[in-house]
């Protein structure tokens, strides 16, 4: 896919954090980018404006990834505007942490709905046009917690582990049409999601990271850009860990 002015990418949750870095990185590769948000409209507009100011193309696309009707309607708007879809990055994610014995069902349901069902709904929306085109790149953003497990995050870890199965099964289904599906599993990345953690928790994580630093959103975006690019055409159903070595 590489440096391609016709490449169209949809990045979910692209107003902030990792999604923002991915949107800017793909735009830098020449992609037209649909910048999805659910709550952060102003921030999504800023990302789109940054892309346009740099000479690229972008549209802002508000929808909640967990809502099937909104996903379908949002994707239809993308197709109206850009006419094709080449790259989907399922980045939108939430946490609702709590110990297992105290976890409310609504916190379980919400995290699974956004992180796992949301990825499924977006994947289902793009699959048909990608199959018709006989090309496409899908990158799901998992987490090291889907591999390690995490006390206080049974919902989050389960959603991220679920994405691994989703990735591998979709990769098998779509491979015959030259569509690749991979997962990038970040470790501790400095974004709003981790900014809320206490200094004590952060210090404990830092101690466990062999590279002795937290990751930046751009570290994750680099791996996504590789998987979306020309050189990754023979890679599917795989996981790339971007975690400073905390899980090997």
Active site members: 156
- Minimum Å distance from CB 72 to ligand NAP? 14
141 binds ligand NAP (CB under 6 A): yes
- Compare residues 192 and 207 and give the one whose CB is closer to ligand NAP: 192
With CB under 6 A as the contact rule, the residue among 148, 193, 208, 216 that binds ligand NAP is 193
Cβ atoms of residues 34 and 51 within 8 Å:
no
Distance (Å, whole) CA 21 – CA 164? 22
What is 124-193 written as a DSSP string?
HHHHHHHHHHT-EEEEEE--THHHH--TT-HHHHHHHHHHHHHHHHHHHHHGGGTEEEEEEEE-SB-SHH
- Compare residues 5 and 198 and give the one whose CB is closer to ligand NAP: 198
207 binds ligand NAP (CB under 6 A): no
Choices 86-94, 121-129, 166-174, 232-240; region in contact with ligand NAP by CB under 6 A: 86-94
Choices 63-71, 168-176, 201-209, 224-232; region in contact with ligand NAP by CB under 6 A: 63-71
User: Phi and psi for 243 in degrees, rounded to 5?
Assistant: -145, 15
Choices 85-93, 120-128, 129-137, 172-180; region in contact with ligand NAP by CB under 6 A: 85-93
Cβ atoms of residues 29 and 229 within 8 Å:
yes
Cβ atoms of residues 189 and 215 within 8 Å:
yes
Choices 10-18, 79-87, 120-128, 175-183; region in contact with ligand NAP by CB under 6 A: 10-18
Distance (Å, whole) CA 208 – CA 225? 27
Terminal Cα-to-Cα distance of the chain (whole angstroms): 29
Size of the site for ligand NAP (CB under 6 A): 29
Distance (Å, whole) CA 221 – CA 42? 21
Q: What is the largest CA-CA distance in the chain?
A: 52
- Compare residues 16 and 25 and give the one whose CB is closer to ligand NAP: 16
With CB under 6 A as the contact rule, the residue among 38, 155, 167, 180 that binds ligand NAP is 38
- Minimum Å distance from CB 20 to ligand NAP? 7
Structure tokens at 50: 């940054």
Kindly write out the interface string for residues 101-140 of this chain, putting x where it contacts ligand NAP by CB under 6 A and - elsewhere: -------------x--------------------------
182 binds ligand NAP (CB under 6 A): no
Distance (Å, whole) CA 217 – CA 18? 5
Interface with ligand NAP by CB under 6 A: which residues?
A: 12-13, 15-19, 36-40, 64-66, 91-94, 114, 141, 143, 186, 188-189, 191-194
């Amino acid at each position: 896919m590489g440096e391609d002015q016709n490449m169209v990418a949809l990045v979910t949750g692209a107003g902030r954090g990792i999604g923002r870095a991915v949107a800017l990185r793909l735009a830098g590769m020449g992609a037209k980018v649909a910048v999805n948000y659910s709550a952060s409209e102003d921030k999504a507009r800023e990302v789109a404006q940054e892309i346009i100011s740099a000479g690229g193309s972008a549209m802002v696309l508000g929808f909640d990834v967990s809502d099937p009707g909104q996903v379908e309607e949002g994707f239809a708007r993308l197709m109206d505007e850009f006419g094709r879809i080449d790259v989907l990055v399922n980045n939108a994610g939430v946490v609702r942490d709590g110990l297992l014995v105290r976890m409310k069902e609504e916190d379980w349901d919400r995290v699974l709905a956004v992180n796992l069902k949301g990825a499924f709904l977006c994947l289902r929306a793009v699959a048909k046009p990608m199959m018709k085109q006989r090309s496409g790149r899908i990158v799901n953003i998992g987490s090291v917690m889907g591999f390690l497990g995490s006390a206080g995050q049974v919902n989050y870890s389960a959603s991220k582990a679920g994405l691994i199965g989703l990735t591998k099964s979709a990769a098998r289904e779509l491979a015959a049409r030259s569509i690749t599906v991979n997962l990038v599993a970040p470790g501790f990345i400095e974004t709003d999601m981790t900014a809320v953690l206490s200094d004590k928790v952060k210090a404990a994580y830092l101690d466990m990271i062999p590279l002795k630093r937290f990751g930046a959103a751009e570290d994750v975006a680099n791996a996504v850009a590789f998987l979306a690019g020309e050189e990754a055409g023979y890679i599917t159903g795989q996981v790339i860990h971007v975690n400073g070595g905390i899980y090997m």
